[in-house]
Amino acid sequence: MSRRSVWGWHNGVRTLGKGYFLRSLCIRHLLPLASAVLLLAAGPARAALLGPSPYLGFADSPFFGLGITLEDFEDGALNVSGISATGGVALPPAALTDSVDPGGFSYYSGDPGVTKMTFTFSGALPTRAGVVWTDVGRLLGETSPFTGQGDVVFEAFDENGASLGQIGPVLLGDGQVFGSQAEDRFFGVVHLGGISRIEIGMPDSDDWEIDHLQFGVPVPEPGTASLLLGGLALLAARARRRAAGPIPTGRA
Ligand SMILES: [Ca+2]
Ligand SMILES: [Ca+2]
Ligand SMILES: [Ca+2]
């Protein structure tokens, strides 16, 4: 429930008395919130791997609308805070560049490049993260014409660096080395305990691209935090009044 509706309801029942307001506040909002927090804290640290799934734009992300930081490389660098890369380089717009964003940048393995890119998170760890594979050119040892297809592997790691699982190897690619979008695939992971890093690679190629690196760090909603703090303050005040004597029932 939104903060606006909570306080509208609050204002609507103030004439019923402080005790009624306090009990209703606890039953309708604070107790369910506390129960959810306890369930998350007590539950097993499960992870869900997502993909590969078609991806033509950010709206195709399973995380779209969930408070995600998106690195699309459109300023020519990987420079959003909270993440760093091992392997890869931003690739400027060109006929061979395969960006999710029309005419844009991608992130490239290099030429010759790496067979795996590692993206490591710092600070508050995200609970969801993903990346979009966009293209492969030359396989290792291959000469032109290139097949334009190869195996892709995605793996994610928990807050302690232990693997949360792997997707693939899965064969991707449309046989074209120029920019094309229908083949692009999203890989991702959700893990409430925190994600320390994700890796994506092509064991048989050092000539491939990714784009739309994305991750989300949970933050308490301001309205929820204010409500919780306000409710706890009311509970503390009531406890103090009980300790001091009977709760007055007339006008304050
Ligand atoms: Ca891009
Ligand atoms: Ca592509
Ligand atoms: Ca391609």
- The residue extents of the domains of the chain are 43-220
Alpha carbon of 147 to ligand 3 centroid (Å): 9
pLDDT at 111: 76
Alpha carbon of 215 to ligand 3 centroid (Å): 25
Q: Find the ligand nearest to 104 CA.
A: 1
CATH T-level topology, domain 43-220: Jelly Rolls (2.60.120)
Kindly state the tokens that stand for 19.
């005790």
Among candidate residues 134, 168, 151, the one with its CA nearest the CA of residue 205:
151
Alpha carbon of 100 to ligand 1 centroid (Å): 5
Each residue of 104-159: pLDDT tens digit? 999 999 977 999 999 999 999 999 999 999 999 999 999 999 999 999 999 999 99
Write out residues in the chain with pLDDT < 50, as ranges.
1-44, 224-225, 228-229, 231-233, 235-236, 239, 247-252
Alpha carbon of 94 to ligand 3 centroid (Å): 14
Measured CA to CA, the distance from residue 205 to residue 35 in angstroms comes to: 49
Alpha carbon of 18 to ligand 2 centroid (Å): 61
Give percent of the chain above pLDDT 70: 69
pLDDT at 228: 46
**CB-based burial label for 83 (10 Å; 0-12, 13-18, 19+):** buried
Alpha carbon of 184 to ligand 3 centroid (Å): 8
pTM confidence score: 0.72
